[in-house]
Amino acid sequence: MTLPHNQTSRHPRHWFWTVRQRTIRTLLVLVACCGAWLCQPAQAQQNKQSTQETPSEDVEAEQVRLTYDLGRFEIREIRPTRNETTNINFEAYFAMSPEVSKQDFKKLKHWKHRFRDQVIIAVRTAQTKDFHEPQLLRLRRIILFRVGRMMREALVEDVLFSEFTFSME
């Protein structure tokens, strides 16, 4: 007896076979998951051994970059048109490019106040949504642009922040 596709068999064996098939499928999936889970530590151990045997050439080739400390910033900005007061606190550093020599770095020491002014201007011109980004990419770009206009060469490669806090009242 054949039934059309839209009707189901009411025979008790049909129910048994569907339950049995579901159980078999579930068991196969569980076995596959357990096998993958058990193989992960073995693969991690093999990767760990291979990294221990061969030292990374990238670590040896990487140079230590000079960082230029700009100090601590505590900026309070009042925007009466929006009825907002923002408090921004952070420490800023410039990561210098590898081409910067020690002599060039020493020459930049007397530019600290100029750099700080540019950072303050960049922070004040930034929009509120720029401070909500997790990596502050837009704020970093604005600061790099303003500092890049001051110098003839691109000596600053990145802006680094530490202890960044942003609050609105």
What is the per-residue pLDDT across 100-136, written as a single tens digit (0 to 9) for each? 888 888 888 889 999 999 999 999 999 888 888 889 9
**Do 118 and 164 belong together in one domain?**
yes
Note down the domain range covering 19.
Answer: 12-56
Structural domain includes residue 96: yes
**Do 110 and 141 belong together in one domain?**
yes
**Do 31 and 111 belong together in one domain?**
no
CATH code assigned at 110: 3.30.479
pLDDT at 58 over 90: no
Task: State the Cα angle at 119 between 118 and 120, rounded to 5°.
Answer: 90
The residue that leads in pLDDT, 87 or 6, is: 87
Q: What is the pLDDT of residue 113?
A: 93
Alpha helices in 54-136 (DSSP H): 57-61, 102-107, 112-125
**Do 124 and 158 belong together in one domain?**
yes
pLDDT at 4 over 90: no
Structural domain includes residue 20: yes
Q: Model confidence at 140, in pLDDT bands (50, 70, 90)?
A: very high
**Do 132 and 86 belong together in one domain?**
yes
Give the pTM: 0.60
